[in-house]
């Protein structure tokens, strides 16, 4: 069994900059949330576990001294929370806000669950860790009052966006193609980094700003979904005024709370105003209105007296739950890379991979995985181009090693996937907290690389 959410959350009130406040407070912009993860000083005994697992050294305090988190340094990944053996680390929670919206008959509350959540929720209700309960979870969410929009669908769109972006880079930088369609690629050199993980993106912005041009410009699947929910889906699927739609990301990740609040992610509002679908004086709203973790949705189920394990194991999927399955593996280390490589291989070679399982990039047991994928380029008469890729599994274990390698040899990799949390999103800071040992002591997690 895992700990319940009741003892390690706090409400977000007064944590965001006011609308009329300064543009920046420290390195956080107006509107961005501060202190998403914090240490309860009444519970902290100074065991130093949290400081040892922080990927960016954002925690202050020595052995036996009450610790604290430096807000401007924190990337909100929550690894300290899942590792703390004394339950002293807390997470900002939007449970109460979501519950209020569920009780509002005017509001359509959309649950946007990530793939990793489906293998975690059951654990909160006593099932064996890793139990897959996809249909039961969706049935439970709908019983709670949500309408479901599966992130696997927007993960498919991420594959297209990020895969094509990588292909354009190959065509520009390797094949020498030029023209207006390659303008963006000309400003974004290799190596190409994934952008799905918000803790990694925040890490780049805070500590490695020189790498920003190398990041994929594709939004994460969650943010793509927020925009679509309030534009296309609002008009053609739910036939609902977008101002009455409240989109809730259901995530294995606490850094997603930060991502959703980023002020640039109000694209649906901008589009709706520009196209005249809502009045020009409509106050700005975010694409994703709130993010709750796996633990949070479990608590909502508890408050409503719903046990997902008691729900039916079958259901008929709605329009917003149809997907190819390529994004299902996003939650595990190497998943984004594997799916993107399939797309790149097909477009560049004109044929499908003979073995669609690109097992060489799966990195659950290793902090850093390197691989070379031979791709026969159709435009070059089948001449093979070797795509050099790297998968970083856990920022604490391998990131600095990989960053050192690319500084020594900028041509070492073409494509790098970074997941902040060990194993990927499946071990995110919003997942059920195991009581059989701290996460950093779990022998199933990746072993640190040798520096």
Angle CA 139–129–40, to nearest 5:
95
In a domain? residue 116: yes
pLDDT at 257 over 80: yes
What is the arithmetic mean of pLDDT over 183-195? 93
pLDDT value for 209: 95
pLDDT value for 9: 80
Where in the sequence is the domain holding 367, given as residue range(s)? Answer: 159-218+326-441
* Structure tokens belonging to residue 395: 């920022």
From 291, 321, 351, give the residue that closes a domain. Answer: 321
**216 assigned to active site:** yes
Are 244 and 107 within 8 A, CB to CB?
Answer: yes
Is the same domain home to 391 and 408?
yes
Is the same domain home to 191 and 314?
no
pLDDT value for 234: 98
- Rounded to whole angstroms, the Cα distance separating 304 from 141 reads 10
Is the same domain home to 278 and 386?
no
Is the same domain home to 434 and 371?
yes
Is the same domain home to 189 and 336?
yes
In a domain? residue 83: no
- Cα 154 off chain centre by: 12
From 321, 338, 355, give the residue that closes a domain. Answer: 321
- Rounded to whole angstroms, the Cα distance separating 197 from 187 reads 22
- Rounded to whole angstroms, the Cα distance separating 143 from 147 reads 9
From 283, 301, 321, give the residue that closes a domain. Answer: 321
**165 assigned to active site:** yes
The active-site residue, picked from 162, 299, 338, 417, is 162
pLDDT band at 249 (very low <50, low <70, confident <90, very high): very high
Q: What is the mean pLDDT of the chain?
A: 89
Is the same domain home to 188 and 284?
no
Q: Is pLDDT larger for residue 447 or for residue 343?
A: 343
In a domain? residue 366: yes
* Structure tokens belonging to residue 372: 């070379």
Q: Which long-range contacts (CB under 8 A, 24 or more apart) does 10-18 make?
A: 10/38, 10/90, 10/91, 10/92, 10/93, 11/92, 11/93, 11/96, 12/92, 12/93, 12/94, 12/97, 15/92, 16/261
**259 assigned to active site:** yes
In a domain? residue 101: yes
pLDDT band at 18 (very low <50, low <70, confident <90, very high): low
**162 assigned to active site:** yes
In a domain? residue 235: yes
- Residue-wise pLDDT for 398-411, tens only, equals 898 999 999 999 89
Are 30 and 22 within 8 A, CB to CB?
Answer: yes
pLDDT value for 63: 93
DSSP-derived 3-state class of residue 440: helix
- Rounded to whole angstroms, the Cα distance separating 330 from 162 reads 13
At a CB cut-off of 8 Å and minimum separation 6, what does 363 contact? Answer: 333, 334, 369, 391, 392, 393, 446
**How is the chain split among helix, strand and coil, in percent rounded to 5?**
40, 15, 45
What is the arithmetic mean of pLDDT over 34-48? 95
Q: Closest by alpha carbon to 126, among 2, 8, 250?
A: 2
In a domain? residue 405: yes
Is the same domain home to 430 and 342?
yes
Q: How many domains does the chain contain in total? A: 2
The active-site residue, picked from 41, 183, 186, 264, is 264
Is the same domain home to 197 and 229?
no
pLDDT band at 355 (very low <50, low <70, confident <90, very high): confident
pLDDT value for 13: 59
The active-site residue, picked from 196, 197, 390, 421, is 196
Instruction: State the DSSP string of 112-163.
Output: EE-GGGGGTHHHHTTPPTT---HHHHHHHHHHHT-EE--HHHHHHHHHHHHH
Phi-psi region of 334 (alpha: psi -120 to 50; beta: other; left: phi over 0): left
* Structure tokens belonging to residue 254: 């606490």
Is the same domain home to 306 and 346?
no
CATH code of the domain in which 208 resides: 3.40.950.10
In a domain? residue 29: no
The active-site residue, picked from 50, 101, 256, 390, is 256
Cis check for the bond before 191: say yes or no (omega within 30 of 0). Answer: yes
**54 assigned to active site:** no
Q: Is pLDDT larger for residue 186 or for residue 327?
A: 186
Is the same domain home to 283 and 146?
yes
* Structure tokens belonging to residue 424: 């990927």
The active-site residue, picked from 71, 124, 259, 299, is 259
DSSP-derived 3-state class of residue 298: helix
Are 46 and 67 within 8 A, CB to CB?
Answer: yes
Looking at residue 441, the DSSP 8-state letter turns out to be G
- Rounded to whole angstroms, the Cα distance separating 61 from 84 reads 14
Instruction: State the DSSP string of 307-369.
Output: -GGGS-S-----GGG---SGGGGGGSTTHHHHHHHHHHHHHHHSS--SS---GGG--TTBSEE
- Residue-wise pLDDT for 393-449, tens only, equals 888 778 989 999 999 998 999 999 999 999 888 899 999 986 554 333 333 333 333
Looking at residue 243, the DSSP 8-state letter turns out to be G
**351 assigned to active site:** no
Angle CA 73–92–439, to nearest 5:
70
- Residue-wise pLDDT for 128-167, tens only, equals 888 888 999 999 999 999 999 999 999 999 888 988 999 9
pLDDT value for 37: 97
In a domain? residue 234: yes
* Structure tokens belonging to residue 49: 């576990």
Is the same domain home to 387 and 341?
yes
CATH code of the domain in which 227 resides: 3.40.50.1780
Per-residue burial over 304-343, b if 16 or more Cβ lie within 10 Å, else e, is eebebbebeeeeeeeebbebeebbbbbbbbbbbbbbbbbb
**264 assigned to active site:** yes
The active-site residue, picked from 71, 165, 338, 417, is 165
Is the same domain home to 300 and 163?
no
The active-site residue, picked from 93, 216, 294, 349, is 216
């Amino acid at each position: 069994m895992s700990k319940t959410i009741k003892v390690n959350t706090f409400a977000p009130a007064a944590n965001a900059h006011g609308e009329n406040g300064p543009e920046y407070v420290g390195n956080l912009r107006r509107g961005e949330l501060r202190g998403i993860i914090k240490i309860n000083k009444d519970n902290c005994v100074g065991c130093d576990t949290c400081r040892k697992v922080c990927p960016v050294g954002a925690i202050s305090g020595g052995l036996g001294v009450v610790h604290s988190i430096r807000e401007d340094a924190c990337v909100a990944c929550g690894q300290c929370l899942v590792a703390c053996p004394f339950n002293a680390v807390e997470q900002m929670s939007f449970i109460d806000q979501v519950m209020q919206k569920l009780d509002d008959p005017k509001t359509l509350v959309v649950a946007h669950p990530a793939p990793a959540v489906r293998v975690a929720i059951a654990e909160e209700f006593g099932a064996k860790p890793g139990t897959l309960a996809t249909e039961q979870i969706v049935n439970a969410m709908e019983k709670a009052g949500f309408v479901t929009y599966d992130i696997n669908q927007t993960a498919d769109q991420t594959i297209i966006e990020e895969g094509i972006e990588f292909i354009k880079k190959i065509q520009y930088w390797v094949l020498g193609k030029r023209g207006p369609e390659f303008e963006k690629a000309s400003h974004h050199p290799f190596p190409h980094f994934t952008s799905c993980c918000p803790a990694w993106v925040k890490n780049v912005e805070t500590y490695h700003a020189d790498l920003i041009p190398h990041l994929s410009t594709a939004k994460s699947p969650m943010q793509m979904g927020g925009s679509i929910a309030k534009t296309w889906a609002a008009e053609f699927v739910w036939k609902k005024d977008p101002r009455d739609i409240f989109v809730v990301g259901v995530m294995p990740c606490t850094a997603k709370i930060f991502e959703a609040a980023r002020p640039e992610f109000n694209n649906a509002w901008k589009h709706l105003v520009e196209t005249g679908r809502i009045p020009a004086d409509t106050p700005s709203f975010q694409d994703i209105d709130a993010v709750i973790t796996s633990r949070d949705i479990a608590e909502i189920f508890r408050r409503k007296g719903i046990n997902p394990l008691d729900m039916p194991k079958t259901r008929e999927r709605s329009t917003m739950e149809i997907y190819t399955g390529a994004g299902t593996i996003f939650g595990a280390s190497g998943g984004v890379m594997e799916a993107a490589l399939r797309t790149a291989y097909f477009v560049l070679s004109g044929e499908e991979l003979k073995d669609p399982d690109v097992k060489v990039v799966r990195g659950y047991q290793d902090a850093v995985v390197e691989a070379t994928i031979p791709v026969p380029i159709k435009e070059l008469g089948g001449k093979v181009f070797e795509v050099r890729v790297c998968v970083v599994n856990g920022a604490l274990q391998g990131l600095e090693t990989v960053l050192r390698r690319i500084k020594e040899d900028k041509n070492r990799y073409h494509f790098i996937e970074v997941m902040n949390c060990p194993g990927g999103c499946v071990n995110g800071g919003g997942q059920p907290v195991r009581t059989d040992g701290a996460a950093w002591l779990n022998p199933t997690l990746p072993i640190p690389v040798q520096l």
